[in-house]
A and B are shown apart, each in its own frame.
Chain A
Amino acid sequence: MIKMEMDEQRLREVIELSRIGLPEEEFKDVLDRVNAVLRMCDEMQDLRMDGVSPFEWDIIEAQRMRPDVPEVWEGRDAFLNQAPVRDGDFFRVPRIIPLEEDGVSEE
């Protein structure tokens, strides 16, 4: 069994990855909760799982694929009208690269 603990550094990484801005004073409480959940899950690792493949659905008659026929969405204008960051036909976002840095953002 590998008991993993989430520490503050990993929490900071996870905050970045999930774009959730968590105030510092909430760090301890979140870490306690996360680690409580992880402790709940440690024992799963000890099960013998050789040859077990991950779960997938057995759907009887799935509609797995859709015909290649285009449709126009009538609600486009109404949708744009209530978008928080609408700018004409576009969505507008603030500065992607922070001012202090030079270079290009990934992706």
Chain B
Amino acid sequence: MKRNTVIGLEIHLQLKTRTKLFCRCSTDYIGATPNTNVCPICLAVPGTLPLLNERAVELAIRMGLGLHCSINDNTRFHRKHYFYADLPKAYQITQYEHAIAVGGYLDINTGGVAKRIRIHHLHLEEDAGKLVHPTSDGRLTGAAYSLVDYNRGGMPLSEIVSEPDISSPAEAVAYIAQIRQLARYLDVSDGEMESGSLRADLNISLSNPDGSLGTRVEIKNVNSLKSAERALEYEISRQNRVLDEGGTLLQETRLWDDASGVTRSMRSKEGVRDYRYYLEMDLAPIAAKPDYVEKIRLGLPEMPWEKRERFTKTYGLSQEESAQLTEQREIADYFEACVAAKAPPSKASNWIRTEVQRMLNEKGIGIGDFCVSAEQLGRLIAKIEDKEISNTQAKDALTVMANRGAGLDEALKICGISCGRLTKEELEAAVRKVLAEEPAAAEAVRSGQDKKGSKYKFLLGLVMRETRGSADPAEVAELLGSLLNG
């Protein structure tokens, strides 16, 4: 039975601010001693009041604009009530209505097919603390007690809720990846799933053949793009199986178990769940006035898709090359600086996507920590283009620059590469030297016995080696010819 897959995603991004959403505690909590990035406000000490972080609002607006949303000029906060050890106030300050950004979209590309996914809204909320369970697998089940660390409590999150426009696991992955790229481009979030600065909750249902919506299941605990894909694939087959066998699906939350490759039912505590949302009156409404929003809009960098387009048009690169170069904003910037230093775009593209990327991978660093500046690389590539040095020589020089932090000129000196063409006299001297050292080969070529041309190639190679690769092969061929034949 053909059922359509209907997927909606809720993505939580930890915002790149220096302090938490409602207090002045540092957000630098990874690796910190438990309960040190805390203060009376995020510990819910009696008498304290929340104080909204202006940078968090700015970043939320940036992301909202990147998602083509309208920015709400009178946004408000609400309280969401529940008791749990990681929530000191026993309510989370979030946005239930009047979210800061509403009604946008994100264009994704799955295997060459473009699709527009509508964004329902983006809202701000505070994160909860972390629980540590002393069980063998670190999971809650079976824990006789738990330990609470509030360092993460109060971290600023923006939650992005999509409409259920996604129709396949591949599209879901493309969507998450595009959100992540946008967040990094806008410097809104690190967007790392592994360390938790990007968390995705997946909502999936299978629609019935008559078009009516099926039962919606929420999947949590997906920590990578691959997991998201596998979890959705598993869930689609599970749901189909249940329905094919005539069973009914429960509207529930399931956890993805990456090790076993299955989703498991999260049986909630018996009883009522009523969040009792109402207006947070300890905070005044935030008026994001049009000129404030406009100022933020003007400060936005080029969007990743805009940059991709521009690269193909301006630099004549293929779609795939552009996509690779613009994957990270820093590399795209590096490429453009390289071209500005007179490297031809296609050569710069190749060098960066192959040689430079390989070095970054080997060293385990990002382009920001690469000690060869874009200008230096650009000049190096320009020298190849001007035929001052050869490809091989350039690779050697780049290696020295990358490993020893040497500048371009110093590296060329270290490699013994003299820049600039050989003079005619130098070249002739080199050719004569080789011919003198290899009389047998020279004689073979001269007398026409070198039918396959292997001796000729041999001599040519020797001349190139003699000149340390800086001779122009065409000039060498001309000289060899004239010297051999009289």
Contacts and interface: CB of A to CB of B under 8 A. Distances in A.
Contacts of B142: 97
A2 interface: no
B253 A65 contact: no
Contacts of B265: 103
Contacts of B309: none
A93 B24 contact: no
B40 A73 contact: yes
Contacts, number: 135
B357 interface: no
Nearest to B272: A13
Contacts of B286: 64-65
B326 interface: no
Nearest to A65: B54
Interface stretch (B62-70, B104-112, B143-151, B377-385): B143-151
B54 A16 contact: no
Contacts of B54: 65-68
A66 B25 contact: no
Interface size range on B against A: 35 or more
Contacts of A68: 17-19, 53-56
A65 B22 CA distance: 9
A48 B191 CA distance: 49
Given A19-B83, A73-B39, A104 B266 contact: yes
B147 A96 contact: no
Interface in A52-107: 54, 56-57, 59, 62, 64-73, 75-76, 79-80, 87, 89-97, 101-107
A97 B268 contact: no
Given A69-B24, A79-B43, A104-B266, A64 B85 contact: no
A66 B84 contact: no
Interface stretch (B29-37, B165-173, B412-420): B29-37
B266 A106 contact: yes
Contacts of A102: 141, 267
A17 B91 CA distance: 12
Interface size range on A against B: 35 or more
B43 A106 contact: no
Interface in B244-297: 253, 255, 265-269, 271-274, 276, 279, 281, 283-287
B34 to A, nearest CB: 4
B160 interface: no
A73 B37 CA distance: 8
Most B CB contacts (10 A, CB to CB) among A67, A72, A76, A107 go to A107
B254 to A, nearest CB: 10
A65 B52 contact: yes
A13 B271 CA distance: 7
A80 B84 CA distance: 19
B82 A90 contact: no
B271 A66 contact: no
B34 A89 contact: yes
Interface string B353-383: 0000000000000000000000000000000
A32 B160 CA distance: 45
Interface of A: 13, 16-17, 19, 54, 56-57, 59, 62, 64-73, 75-76, 79-80, 87, 89-97, 101-107
